[in-house]
Structure formats: structure tokens, C-alpha cells
Structure 1
């Protein structure tokens, strides 16, 4: 069975997108769905290529049971548009940058990460220049967003298994 491939995108790939990637991986493992979904995260800019996620983000995520310390920042590449089924932006500025770089045939893959949630906001705020509470707020929003994304992915996986996929 083909894996469903999800890519999270933020600015430097050290705060929001790796947190979403790590939390999604964790939630998929808990539900036994990790064999059906591949995840990754990237930045729109090359500010932190090769660096791990921020220490504050990792520490606070670990307190919630998440470990994504294995991730290293990389920048969005042309190959990502072909490789991934879902390219999820953390904020509207990221979505615009992704659309500008994306070939026309892959534009439909680009969505806002929080499009799948029932939150009032569609953007995950950047905690980079803030303090621990900003990271906690980010993690709260991402946990909620990931929970809704997992429900969406479960439907996609079940549709693929039964041959009724709409994507």
C-alpha cells in the first residue's frame, strides 16, 4: 500500500513545523497508523539548515511525551512538491511562498495545517522570539490541529484500504 505523505512548512524549520511533524508521528504510532503515513517538515527559508529544533520547544514537548529531537532543519525543495501528498503551511505567509514556488500541477496539495481543525484561527503563531508560554501556546494549537488531521488521515487510509479514495 502506498504511504500517504505529509509535509509541514514553517519559516526556519526549528519551531512549528518540526513540532507538528513530531506530534503527528507520535499520534500515528499510538493509533497504529504510522505504517501508512510518512511525515517530514521543512522551512521556507534557509536560516537554520542542519540545526535541531529549538531547545525550548523540545523541552516543553518532552514534558507532554513527544520526542522529535531527531529532526534537522531543511529548506523546501522542488522535489517536495512531487513527493508529498499534503503540503501544510503553518501560516498564510508560508502558504504564499509555497504557492509561488510550486509548479501548477501540484498547487492542489497546498493547504493550511489548521484547515483540518475546528479552531477559530488558521495560523500557528511563531514562538521563536517569545518565551516558554509562547511555545506552550504553539504546542496547544498543534496538538489540536494534529488530532483533527489524524481523523482526516484515518479516513484517507480507510478509503485507500477499501478502494474508495477521493484523493
Structure 2
């Protein structure tokens, strides 16, 4: 069986999308589904290509048992739209940037990540980069909720 491939996307790939990747990897691992689901993250901009996630993202995630240290930022590519089944934007601006890269038939792969959340009535994960530590905690809370919903959706649809 072919793996379900999931790509998380934010602007620079150093805060929100690596956090989502790490949280989702930990969840998938805890459910023993790593052989069934491939997970990655990318940014719509090339600002931080090759850099590790923001130290504040890493610290907040580590406090919850999620290690982001091995990740490195990369920019999303057109090839990602062929490779991934789910391309999950953290906010509307990144969703629009992604929509500008793809063909009509690939639109169904694009989603706002928070549409999979059950406890949050918002559709965007806010960028914590210019704020304090509480923003990174809020991102984790949101990402954990949406990750659980996404995994449930993938189980129902693909596994």
C-alpha cells in the first residue's frame, strides 16, 4: 500500500509548519503508522532555507516531548503538488501563494490545516515569530488539535 503523504506549509518553514510536522510525526508514531504516512514541511518563501526551526518553536515543542531539531527549512516546489496527497497551509496568505503554483486538478490537495481542528473555531494558525513565548504555546495547542483531526480523517479516508 502506498503511503499517504502530508505536507505542512507556512511562510518561512521555521515556526508553524515544522511544529505541525513534529507534532504530527509524534502522533503518527504513537499510533504505529509511520510505515503508512509520510510527513514533511516547507515554506512558501525562501527566507530560511537550510536553517533549523526557530529556537522558540523547538523549546516549546521539546517541553511537550516533540523534537524538531533534525528539521531544516525548505521552500515548497511545484513537484510537491505531484508528490503530496495533503498540502496543509497554516493561513490564508500561504494558501493563496500555494494556489498560485498549481493546476486546477491539484486544488483538492490544498487545505487550511485548522479545518481539521475540533476544539478551535478559527481557520488560521497565527504566526508566533514576532510575539512572545505564549504565541508558540498557542500554536502548539492549535496544532495538536488539528493534527488529531487530520489523523482521524486520514484513517477514515485512506487506512
TM-score (norm 1): 0.92
- The equivalent of 1:140 in structure 2 is 141
- The equivalent of 1:125 in structure 2 is 126
Structure 1 position 88, deviation (Å): 0.4
The answer to whether the 8 Å contact 2:6/2:84 transfers is yes
- The equivalent of 1:163 in structure 2 is none
Structure 1 position 105, deviation (Å): 2.4
**CA deviation digits over 1:91-131, x for unaligned, max 9?**
00011110011122211111111111122001000000111
- The equivalent of 2:4 in structure 1 is 4
**CA RMSD of superposed structures (Å):** 0.9
Structure 1 position 157, deviation (Å): 3.4
- The equivalent of 2:54 in structure 1 is 54
Structure 1's consecutive aligned runs of 4 or more residues displaced over 3 angstroms after TM superposition are none
TM-score (norm 2): 0.96
Structure 1 position 34, deviation (Å): 1.2
2 CA distance for matches of 1:111 and 1:57?
A: 23
The answer to whether the 8 Å contact 2:117/2:142 transfers is no
Within 5 A, what are the aligned runs for 1:1-167? 1-118=1-118, 119-158=120-159
The answer to whether the 8 Å contact 1:36/1:157 transfers is no
Unaligned runs of 5+ in 1: 159-167
2 CA distance for matches of 1:127 and 1:121?
A: 16
2 CA distance for matches of 1:50 and 1:151?
A: 32
The number of residue pairs the alignment matches comes to: 158
1 CA distance for matches of 2:117 and 2:103?
A: 27
SS at structure 2 position matched to 1:77 = coil
